Amino acid sequence: MANDTRIATVEIAGPGRNLLNPEVLAKIEQGLLDAAADATVAGIVLTGAGDDAFCGGLDVPAIKAGADPVPFYEGLISILKLLPTLPKPVVAAVNGDALAGGAGFVAAADHVIAVPYAKIGSYEVSVGVWPIVAQVPLVKRLGVRAAMENIVPGEPFTAERAKEVGLVNEIVPANQLHARAGEWLGKASRGGATVATGRPSLYEVEQMSYGDALDAALARITDAYRQ
């Protein structure tokens, strides 16, 4: 992780096309936690190491070679659970293909900026595997119908289609990717401490019924005024 003008960059740096194994996943999670705990950091950029891949998903070749798959999935799920709880806004700077678990990271980010040639989504069905884990963030972000467009045929979205269905916010040339991510985080961090408590509440509301969300809002605003 490297800090630049109060923005922390957490890189997905794995074998091949930034594949995920337990060690890589642990480094990503620690980078996110360190950024969240650093009072000088206003926002987080999650991106792939190198110039042509964001994340190719789990390291399936390592699993096929005999590695226990459970720690791979546990590490991935741990990060997917962590992302909505962070007190800092998170931008996914998608510098290349974001597949399977990599697409899950994209779906769990607050804002997504992608290069035009990125493919984003699940591919597992095309090789005879249902994406049990990867489908969760995709369905939560897109709803079943839009997620099904990708998941059932196992054909990742183009960047343009991902933008149309709401998985990507912006498409920019590669040489503008990180500058644009920094610009958005600069705007998103203007609320300071307000964002730290407000951001997680957005994801909590998403999981509640309409009535329960309003009841929770009343309890919070009442507590705030009585402090």
Answer yes or no: are the C-beta atoms of 151 and 74 closer than 8 Å: no
Looking at residue 105, its pLDDT comes to 98
As a whole number of angstroms, the distance between CA 188 and CA 110 comes to 10
Over 80: is that where the pLDDT of 227 sits? no
Catalytic member of 11, 23, 74, 124: 124
**In DSSP terms, which residues pair with 44 in a beta bridge?**
8, 90
Structure confidence by residue, pLDDT tens digits, 42-93: 999 999 999 999 999 999 999 999 999 999 999 999 999 999 999 999 999 9
- Residue range 106-120: mean pLDDT, rounded: 98
Length of the chain: 227
Answer yes or no: are the C-beta atoms of 200 and 220 closer than 8 Å: no
CA 12 to chain centre: 11
Is 124 part of the annotated catalytic residue set?
yes
Which of these CATH numbers, 3.40.47.10, 1.20.1250.20, 3.40.50.300, 3.90.226.10, describes 2-188? 3.90.226.10
Over 50: is that where the pLDDT of 208 sits? yes
Six-digit token pair at 59? 């390291």
As a whole number of angstroms, the distance between CA 22 and CA 200 comes to 26
Looking at residue 5, its pLDDT comes to 54
Answer yes or no: are the C-beta atoms of 138 and 121 closer than 8 Å: yes
Return the closest-CA partner of residue 105 out of 129, 130, 136: 136
pTM, two decimals, is 0.92
Over 50: is that where the pLDDT of 167 sits? yes
Domain ranges in the chain?
2-188, 193-226
Over 80: is that where the pLDDT of 2 sits? no
- Residue range 12-40: mean pLDDT, rounded: 97
